[in-house]
Copies of this chain bind each other. A is one copy, B any other.
């Protein structure tokens, strides 16, 4: 009997597939809970929703994919044993069948090509938002859920320059009403549909989504927590871990060059230069903040089909030490992208549901350690970001303790709707 809904944008993709598979495997204790931050002792004080209490659904631009992706994780990627997928097959199929058509206009060339058959065509922005919002409500009612957490795990959209029309909710509403499609990307449409119905929204991609001020205003209006952008899983995680070392040792980083190769659906989309641009932007930003100055830096991403879901990153860091001597560090990161990202998605679902349950709304800055480009947070040292999370846990632990004598943090309402 599930209590919390998880609605995945990009539900037929590798990451969504691994999220669904992983929740089932972990709930049944068929494999260890490695990679789940919410299973750390530091987070044990928080009464989070169990992984077995999650129900999954989502949007995509294709009617199938989820089961095939899980299978390719075990065959082509050799990342998980075949038997795990076999045992979860019924669950995976059920979720795949529950996937509803998403919204593709403005998702970039790589996505548009794929969306033809499944997604309604010629739909106005307003109609789409209505349709998508209805999907969420129906999911909540049919599955008897307390709430639905919407998480964007779709492919990266091309970047879009924000205008004055994105700044205030009233103006952005008019953009929707007048169907001015060049100002709107799917991630905005999805976020709008979710937040308008009071459902929390988490942006795990570099797509613009929650960075739109008007949407943040909408979230606050409906008292929904939200956060993003772009899950921090590999190379950029390493950057936010290593950069403080150079900073605290007063070693000047001269150049930091990164070269990423990956296959899979994500790799294919990023091979398109327009999609790639968004990704590079969120990856490149962290160094300046972490170091206090901007070294020469480059981040390349190339599509290498044979790698499948595995990403290999080579980073070269050139630095100057005492007496001007130049030295260097290289690192090579070899990780399976979906496997690294999926537990973080589940962590974010659990922590977002908790925040909503506690009546919190607005940007969840305590979740900065999960993101490459954490909204409203300038701290880029990973250790310091993790401390923001443990501080949050501590505040809540103290509150629970104090709660016996009276409430400590203001809550507006126990549930968004």
Contacts and interface: CB of A to CB of B under 8 A. Distances in A.
14 contacts: A31-B323, A34-B251, A34-B252, A34-B323, A37-B248, A37-B250, A237-B249, A244-B383, A244-B386, A245-B382, A250-B343, A298-B304, A300-B302, A321-B340
Interface residues of A, number: 76
Contact of A35 (B18, B33, B249): B249
A36 interface: yes
Interface stretch (A132-140, A276-284, A310-318): A310-318
Interface stretch (A105-113, A144-152, A195-203, A327-335): A327-335
A391 interface: no
A369 B213 CA distance: 41
Where chain A touches its partner, the secondary structure class is mixed
B334 A332 contact: no
Copies in the complex: 4
Interface of A: 18, 21-22, 25, 31-37, 39-40, 75, 78-84, 237-238, 241-242, 244-245, 248-252, 254-255, 257, 259, 261, 296, 298, 300, 302, 304-307, 312, 314, 316, 318, 320-336, 339-340, 342-343, 369, 381-384, 386
B325 A336 contact: yes
A320 B244 contact: no
Nearest to A237: B245
A28 B276 CA distance: 43
A284 to B, nearest CB: 13
